[in-house]
Structure 1
Amino acid sequence: MIGVTTYLEQAQTGVWDVRASFLPKVYLDAVTDAGGIAVLLPPQPVSPEIARSVLASLDGLIVAGGADVDPARYGQEPHPRTGAPRTDRDAWEDALLSEAIAAELPFLGICRGAQVLNVALGGTLVQHLPDVVGSERYQPSPAVFGAGEVTVKPGSRLAAVLGDEAGTLPVHYYHHQALDVVADGLTVTARSEDGVIEAVELETVPFGMGVQWHPEENAADRRLFAGLVEAAGTHRTRRSIA
C-alpha cells in the first residue's frame, strides 16, 4: 500500500467547478505497474498524531510533484517567480515525511517532494534556477518537459536501485527550483550536466530518497518505483513480525 500525496486544485467536471483532490494518472500507473496499490493522500489539517495514524496503514510513501514550497519555511522572502504558497500542502507533506522518517517507512520524493524533504530537514532551495544556470532548460515552457541526463553516484542506494550499469541516466525535467544548501543527513546521489543537484538520499533509513526529475513520466523505466515497492514489502513483513 503506497500513499501518494496530491494537490488541491480548482477542477471542472460536468456541471461542477469545485476544489478537488488532483493527481496526474501517471503517478498511479507508476505505482501499480511496479506491483503496488496506490492510495491518494489529499492535503488536510494535520498533527503528528494524525500523520502517524495515516502512515500506520501504509507500507510506503510518495511525495508527488507540484507547487513551490513556501520560502518562509526556509527563512527566505519569495522570489518574483516563486509561486503562491500552498501552506496546507506544505504542512501536510512535512508532517508525513517527518513521521515516515521516524517510523523508517520507505519513501520517495519526486521534484517538489525532494524539495520538501530537504526543507523539512533544514535545507534551503534555489528559488529560480535560471538565475543560476542562465537558461530555462529545466522547465522549457508550460507543460513541456526538458530532456537531459543525470550522473548517479556509484555505490549509492539510487545506483543500486537503478542497477550497476546506471552511471548516466536520461531523465524528464520540469522544475524551476532546486536544492541549494543540502540538509544535514542527506547525501547527494545525482547531478545534472551543469552540477544541479538532482537526487538525494537519507542514509539513516532503509529506503528514503528524493529525485528532482519526473520518473513517473517514463513508462518504460519503473525501477525507482519497483525499488520503493520492494522496500515497502520488506517494511510490511518486518512490521507484521514485530
Structure 2
Amino acid sequence: MKTALITGANKSIGLETARQLLQLGYYVYLGSRDLQKGQQAVAQLQSEGLSTVEPLQLDVTDSASIAAARQTLGQKTQALDVLINNAGILGGMVQPASSTDVSLIKQVFETNVFGVIAVTQAFIDLLQASPEPRIVNVTSGLGSLTLHNDPSWKYYAVKGAAYQPSKAALNAYTIMLAYELRDTPFKVNAVDPGYTATDFNHHSGPGSVSDAAARVVKAAVLGPDGPTSQFFSDDNASETGISPW
C-alpha cells in the first residue's frame, strides 16, 4: 500500500485530498498543526469507511514539531511515496506593496515557503526509499510572475506584497528541487488547485473543494512517464494545463 503525507490536511482542500487518496487505496498520514483537529478529521474520514488514515501533529513553522513528526513517521513506515505540501496562509486580503508590514510578509513566507522547504528536507530520505516518490507543492495561479505582468489576465489587478510573492518563491523552489532530482524517479510539481470556495478566502471562490483536490491528486499519482518541474493550473493555463512561471 502506498503512503502519503499531507500537511494542513484537517480541513478544506487538504482534507478532501486525503479523502480522494484514501479512495484510491493509499495510506494517508493527515498532517495537522492542531492534533485534536487532525483527530477529528480522521474520525470523519473513518466514519465514511476510509480506515487507512491517521493523524500526525505537524506545524510546518516549528522545527521541533517537524522533527517529531519525522521521527514518528519513521517508526511507522520505511518509505513515503507522496508528500503534499498543502499547508498555507493568506496573510489578509489587502497587502499593498508600499505599506504592508514586513513582519506580515515574513509570517506568510514562514508557512508558504520556509515551511515547505523544512518539511521536504526532513522527509526526503523517506521519499528516496520509495520506488516512485512524488512531491506536490500546492501553489496558486497568483504566483505566476508572467501572468501578473499581463494586463489582459483576469486576475491582473489581484496584487499583494505577501501571499503572491510567497507562491512565486514556492514555485522557484519547486523548479530547483525538481532539477536536483531530475535523474531520479522523483516527480516534483507545483499545482494550483484553483480559486476554490474555502475558509481561506471566506468562501469567495467559485470552484469546488472536490475539483481542487482532484487537481492535486492527479499530480500525486503520476506514473513513471509523467512530467516533473511543471506548474499545473486549470484556471490560468493554456489547454495543456501548464501555467507560465
TM-score, structure 2 length as denominator? Answer: 0.43
State the TM-score, normalized to the length of structure 1.
Answer: 0.44
More helix per residue: 1 or 2? Answer: 2
Q: Which has the higher contact order (CA 8 A, sep 6+)?
A: 1
